[in-house]
Amino acid sequence: MLKALMLKELRETGWIALVGLAAQLAFVANCAGYAVVPFWTRMGVIGIPFLDGGFMTSFCFISAALAAALGMRQTAVESSRGTWLFLRHRPASLWQVLAAKLAVGTGLYLICGLIPILTYAAWAELPGRHASPFSWWMTMDAWKAWGLITIIYLGTFLAGIRPARWFGTRLLPLAAGGLLTLLLIYPMFWPLLGIAAFLLVASGLIGLIHFTARTHDFS
């Protein structure tokens, strides 16, 4: 049953991940000097990879949009179609349904962030590609953003299953997730404080997701 639920989620959200990955790679190409996205400055060949701001700006924006799109597709669309009630009456437990959704959504987001970071780093490491030194420590901020933006995904997921109105308090988890992500990405919170805060927030959001889904009447 868990496998079937995960395959369902992949069929329904895979296209979102592909769009997000295509956008990430297009901006990576721009940072490497190829004008794939005409309106975006080609930063990679004139600046320091990962430190000139070009890659991080596009990476964080696309990753946040992808995380929010995945979380909303897995929850709000299910509510509008009445699928939640159907899923609640399947042989799988509520926790299994939520675990399948969260595993697929988180996995797709992480893969779509992992590939552009590694691709850009591999390009930057090749000799003769740019007139500046490169070391893997320069990718640290990208890895931090990659992990922290999962909070936005979890916040959107929680917002999507809450029973409140959209123009009221329903979007508060998403707003809070975005604010926490911006705060925790600053170096002053890392490494130990940032990691502890991230784990605390992520576990709290997962707990709230389970509580909200368990107490919400989807009928």
pLDDT in tens, 69-121: 999 898 877 766 666 656 666 666 777 888 889 999 999 999 999 999 999 99
Q: Give the CA count within 13 Å in the CB-facing half-sphere of 93.
A: 4
Across 180-213, b (16+ Cβ under 10 Å) vs e yields bbeebbeeebbeeebeebbeebbeebbebbeebb
Residue 77 CA neighbour count, 13 Å, CB half: 11
End-to-end CA distance of the chain: 23
Peptide bond into 133 cis (omega under 30): no
Its pTM stands at 0.84
Buried residues in 9-37 as b, exposed as e (16+ CB within 10 A): beebbeebbeebbebbbbbbbbbbeeeee
Mean pLDDT by 10 residues, the chain (219 residues): 79 94 91 74 63 83 94 80 63 79 95 96 81 82 89 88 62 62 58 74 87 72
Residues 169 and 79: their CA atoms lie apart, in Å, by: 17
Q: Rounded to an integer, what distance in angstroms lies between the CA atom of residue 178 and that of residue 183?
A: 9
How far, in Å, CA of 67 to CA of 151, rounded? 9
Q: Which residue has 């940072």 as its token pair?
A: 31
Domain boundaries, the chain: 2-215
Which DSSP state fits 128? T
C-alpha distances (whole Å) from 32 to each of 26, 124, 156 are 10, 8, 32
pLDDT reported for residue 89: 61
